[in-house]
Structure 1
Amino acid sequence: AGWSAITVASIQALATGALLAWMIWWVATLLERLQRQRDEVRVLHDESHTDALTGLPNRRAFDEAIAVLGQGRRGHDHGGSLLLLDLDRFKDYNDRFGHQAGDAVLRQVGALLRHAVRPSDLPARYGGEEFAVLLPEAGIEEAMQVAERIVRAFRAAAWPGRAVTISVGAAALAASESADALVGRADAALYAAKAAGRDRVVQAAPPAQPAPA
């Protein structure tokens, strides 16, 4: 076309630069879209694993965490412990003060548990007025200390309407014990705490030993 070599080189450079700029924009747009999708998935995951009222992990999150705890029990002295907690006479509280006041108590329980447990522990809403705390790598003595601290925190807290107390069952994961068996022992200890007068911690009995062959 009668263009000089300099003109052709300039056009080629401009075209190459434009193509490179478009590719950079396209990659940046793609990365932004992927990050947005990851954020959306993370939000959905967090929402599906969080109790909306208390802000604590919900039962689904608890079930996943205790399954991991049970699977991770490999040759350690303490694979972890579990606290099961139940608000004392909470139905009576709701009947007397109303469900809005009951919801306020549950929100306060969520905040109290977050402050009373250790950073490594997992407090969760187990269902209704029941809560659970997983204590990874904690033996029964540590679990009892945390449980007693929670009970004292409930006694010292300012509650709307009237005092709110809690009963706790504590159990440490035994060798070769399943997550379901651990929950069962902690639940039995919780019922023992209720039967003994509430507002207290009861340590679970050790798992039954298999009968000799």
Structure 2
Amino acid sequence: MSPEMIRLLAGATGETLLMVAISAGLGTLFGLPLGVFLATSGRGELFAAPWANRALGVVVNATRSTPFIILVVAIIPFTRLIAGTSIGTNAAIVPLTVAATPFIARLIEGAIREVDQGLIEAARAFGATPLQIVLKVLIPEAMPGIVLGLTLAVVSLIGYSAMVGAVGGGGLGDLGIRYGYQRFMPEMMLAVVVVLIVLVQALQSLGDLLARRLNKRIRHA
């Protein structure tokens, strides 16, 4: 591989990591409270609001069920409003965040629902408020599951970031399409695939390790 190809690959990898990091951070920022609310707002739960729970559930499910490439095109006006453009790395962060938020919310909801209900009842018996139960019981106990869920979300975002290359989103996907496909350079396409695999494997291993350590810490607490 020539020095020029290595330079292009390094630059595209940096763009992909930037897109994934920012969209994962924003998706967690929006998805964490949304997931907590979905897990605690059903009938008879901590923040009982069944109608709001159902309405948010419909919105979350609708967004999650929309194929990502269609979502990217459908929200182009919104992307232009936020990023000032519909192409490039900055623009790609918008649909990535929109796709990540409901996905992360459902993962966090599932992790919180796995927490033993006996712990919630015990906290209630000691006079803990609903917010205290969320912050001191639910989230700490669900943390290993939340970490695994966020790892899955980040891995998915890496795949999504490659898709936005089809619409000029930059990153490894854009590099693979422009050089590997349009310029008939199979070695570049292979290099892009290898880098994506390495990124996914590294992130998955890191997430698994962190989740195991958190799980051991909770058990020995």
TM-score range, shorter chain: under 0.3
User: What TM-score do the two structures reach when normalised by structure 2?
Assistant: 0.25
- Higher RCO (C-alpha 8 Å, min separation 6): 2
Instruction: Provide the TM-score with structure 1 as the length reference.
Output: 0.26
Query: Which has the larger share of helix?
Result: 2
Decide which structure has greater strand share: 1
